[in-house]
Amino acid sequence: MKLHGSVTSLEGGSNFATQTVNTIVQSGIFEGTGVNVLKGCTLVESSFDIFIQGILGLLAFTTLFAKRYMESPRRPFVVWGFDASKQAVAGMTVHILNIGIAEYLTHAVGAAALKSDECDFYFVNFVIDIFVGVTATYLLLAIVGVFAEKFNYEILRTGEYGNPPSPTAFFAQLGVYMLLTVMIKGILFSTEVFLRPYLDVWGYVMFNRFDSFPKLKLVFVMIVTPFVLNSIQFWIIDSLLKGKSINNKEEEEPDEAVQDDPECSIDTIFTKSTDSMVA
């Protein structure tokens, strides 16, 4: 009974705080002060927001498992794991940056004149990322591939990790991929800041009908459309990141041998790598 009473008190205090904040916001006390009060659909302001983002990540990465299941010949599991890990790290980094960019565009100086909320800007930024970012990634990875071939830097040949697969090659390629990803994101962010008023109109026109239903808008912006676009993005990028030799029919049997070879297990690979570094 005592515990129940304490919980009830906490809930009452939380409701009182929420009502107080809403009263202050509705009173217009912040108008003209330069303080931009949170409004509309938000991205990280509640546990529901975080939960929705977790679902997005889970759904997006199932695409990689589906692609591995359908591809022929199938990559050895360790090689596929290296390729998928690049997308996992880069995808999480880009998602965090996208949230930060959406927050900035929504709440930076001059936000009082804008109509879009965080979800509107996130969606617009996400769409730009998919179409412009993926194209730029394709071109830059192609340049890296030409550079690796010309100067015989085998460690930078995308998706080629040696036999057995080397963690050193994986981390080198991951570093290059992350550098390209962050560089592209920085250029896009600078462009979006310049085009902010136009992006505001774009986002508002698309989603203003959902303004009265912020949670429904979040689900649509963070789950429905991004799941389709993310799946396409992951599918394309995975095709770019995996090694060319997997598509060579003559090398199908060696790849399968690597998959079944106990020398190519994750533990053995990292043990050998560690031993060679010590030596």
pLDDT digits (tens, 9 = 90+) for 19-71: 443 443 344 433 443 444 455 788 888 888 888 888 887 887 787 787 778 87
Q: DSSP 3-state assignment of 164?
A: coil
Mark out the alpha helices in the chain (DSSP H runs). 2-27, 47-70, 77-107, 118-128, 134-150, 167-194, 196-207, 214-219, 225-241, 252-260, 266-278
Whole-model pTM: value is 0.68
Cα separation, 52 vs 92, in Å, equals 14
- Residue 175 near residue 156 (C-beta atoms within 8 A): no
Per-residue pLDDT reduced to its tens digit, 62-96: 877 877 788 778 888 898 889 888 888 988 898 89
pLDDT at 198: 93
- Residue 66 near residue 11 (C-beta atoms within 8 A): no
Per-residue pLDDT reduced to its tens digit, 156-181: 888 888 888 899 999 999 999 999 99
Q: DSSP 3-state assignment of 163?
A: coil
| DSSP state letter for 154 | G
